[in-house]
Structure 1
Amino acid sequence: MQAQDQELRRDTLPRRVLLATDLSCRCDRAQDRALRLAERWGAKLFLLHVLENEKEQELPSWRRERSAQEMLAERQIRAATRDRAINAEAIIRRGSPPEVLLRTAEELDCDLIVTGIARGGTLARAILGTTVERLVHRAPMPVLVVKNRADRAYDHLVVASDFSASSAHAFRQALRLLPDARMTLLHAYRVPFEGFISKEANRDEFLQAARSQCADFLAGIPAVKDRLDRLACLIEYGSPDELIGAYVWDNEVDLVVLGTHGSSGAFDILIGSTAERLLETLPCDVLVVREPSSLQAVRAAMGATQAGA
């Protein structure tokens, strides 16, 4: 019952946003984006800083209730929210950053986690491979990975879709969170067994099938009807990661939205390597939307039925 209530509540605008930060300048971009979104939605913003493998220290009497990091976080929040109508709270906790972030987000019943990554070199890969990667693997709520400065609201989104129920859920989340943005629904298709059959002879057939799937996909999302003037559907031949990357580089895309599971391995973000490559290489922000528990249950039931057959 609690899980159902959480999923129903997430059909409304986010009320609680968690920002994961190390309080350094490299997290300024994620902080600015989180502030902008919280202000727009009227949501409460939690700024969480995790002290990793740090022991309690002897402190002067006037600091025994609050650590230096807590005071720094509070000062940072006050400075960032000055003259802005935002309800914000700083939280300092100790432990493994991914574990503490996930536990805190669930304890506070947050609707979105916002985080950033270091840019360039092995440091970016190391951070992506520890905290961010675990968040997108396990967080039940969407995770926004911020790379760029929040100079403007998200204006142009790309939603990667394979027309599965999971990608439909991700698309609905994009429509709910950012209804005023221009959106491009991008679908990549391939001709099966290209090494054995003629790709040229069968490509048009699979393109027409993809277009039919797209029409059915959009018909199943009522919210699309009010946004047709700001929606473009793009169906292209090729691999998803290459097409998404090329489109983002060639167009002014602010955000890419990815679902956590799909009907094809290329979009299976929890298992495949497509998401990792996109998170590392895309020049824009990325929103990762995990499929809801109801879809996971359906997937498990289908798997059990197929195994029994």
Structure 2
Amino acid sequence: MTISVPRKIMLATDLTPAGDRAFDRAVELASEWNAELVVMHVAESNSARPWGMDRRIRNAETEMEALVRSAKQTCKIVRHTVIGDPADRTLAHAHEFGCDFLITGPAHGKIIGEKYLGSTAARIVRRANVPVLAVRRRPEGPYGSIVAAVDFSDPSRRALLGGHALFPSARLTALHAYQIKPNWSGPNAERTLDIIESEERERAIKEAQHHMEDLITAAGAPALGSTILEGEPEAVLSDYVARNWPDLVVAGTHGRSEIEYDTIGSVAERFLMTLPCDVLAIPTRK
């Protein structure tokens, strides 16, 4: 899919105290892109506690009105409050309203055994067919530094190109993590481990550099930065974020169905839950 500047943004807000961070970022982007902003709150229905829903809706509408009045920049804002499952209703209304960009607060998940129980933000990311921005930090201006984790697959290429298309003025770095897999058998059986690993590392780096050059050329962004580091991809990205503190991480998703992956977090979902910065998840299916 080709990413273009959004015309209608939806902010899914739970109206918690930290929700103003996502709202401020949504207003900033709507102003920058000259887009309409739809602020959506879904009051989660609970059959065990059906009473008081009318009061909850009135309170939510009052809070949303106050939130809209707090906007620091000018853009067209409309509000909607509905009842139901937050992820389901957000996605359904985003489609109904023709929104081409979604914004949420950060994901908060817990782990049972080795499986993630996804938050509303993670469930939205898993099923959305438009980019989803999960906001964790309070905005301090436009995004200035962005890092995209790439493995040179088509999905990671499309995610990187999508990040560049949405934020062309930001400093964008493509980060690739490589892992060496020495062959200890055959002709290498009589050679020292250090020599075998050194040669395999040199080969992996040269191959990564070649692919990175092709990626930069395809992106059409000569100023695109690149970093190639050894290690497991998620660990490398986490360490890079901790050391360099970028404003935003871009990740690709494959648009998996809710039924197939209801409790197993994708890589993008784990980024949402673990990274201390904003995360932009871009669907990469064609």
Same fold (TM over 0.5): yes
* Counterpart-to-counterpart distance in 2, 1:249 and 1:58: 42
Asked if 1:148 is matched to 2:137, the reply is yes
Where structure 1 has 5 or more consecutive residues not aligned to the other structure, the ranges are 1-6, 262-269, 295-309
* Counterpart-to-counterpart distance in 2, 1:21 and 1:195: 54
1:109 to 98, 104, 116: 98
Match of 2:70 in 1: 80
Choose between structure 1 and 2: higher helix proportion.
Answer: 1
The SS at the match of 2:70 is: helix
* Counterpart-to-counterpart distance in 2, 1:90 and 1:58: 18
Q: Which has the higher contact order (CA 8 A, sep 6+)?
A: 2
Match of 1:254 in 2: 247
Distance 1:210 1:43, change over 3 A: same
Distance 1:73 1:184, change over 3 A: same
Say how many residue pairs are matched.
262
Q: Does the Cα contact within 8 Å between 2:37 and 2:75 map onto a contact in 1? A: yes
Q: Does the Cα contact within 8 Å between 2:181 and 2:200 map onto a contact in 1? A: no
One-letter code aligned to 1:39? S
One-letter code aligned to 2:170? A
Match of 2:20 in 1: 28
* Counterpart-to-counterpart distance in 1, 2:97 and 2:109: 32
Q: Does the Cα contact within 8 Å between 2:15 and 2:41 map onto a contact in 1? A: yes
Distance 1:194 1:147, change over 3 A: farther
The SS at the match of 2:6 is: coil
Match of 1:289 in 2: 282
Moved segments of 4+, more than 4 Å: 54-59, 118-122, 193-197, 270-273
* Counterpart-to-counterpart distance in 2, 1:133 and 1:38: 23
User: What do the CA deviations read for 1:90-136 (whole angstroms, capped 9, x no partner)?
Assistant: 111111111011111111121211111377999xxxx9723111111
Distance 1:141 1:84, change over 3 A: same
Match of 1:306 in 2: none
1:49 to 38, 41, 52: 41
Q: Does the Cα contact within 8 Å between 1:98 and 1:135 map onto a contact in 2? A: yes
TM-score, length of structure 1 as denominator length:
0.76
Superposition deviation, residue 280 in structure 1: 2.3
* Counterpart-to-counterpart distance in 2, 1:121 and 1:133: 12
Which stretch shifts more, 163-172 or 185-194? 185-194
Where structure 2 has 5 or more consecutive residues not aligned to the other structure, the ranges are 189-195, 255-262
One-letter code aligned to 1:74? E
Distance 1:279 1:58, change over 3 A: closer
User: What do the CA deviations read for 1:183-215 (whole angstroms, capped 9, x no partner)?
Assistant: 111011112366767332211011111111111
Distance 1:189 1:121, change over 3 A: closer
Superposition deviation, residue 259 in structure 1: 1.0
Q: Percent identity?
A: 36
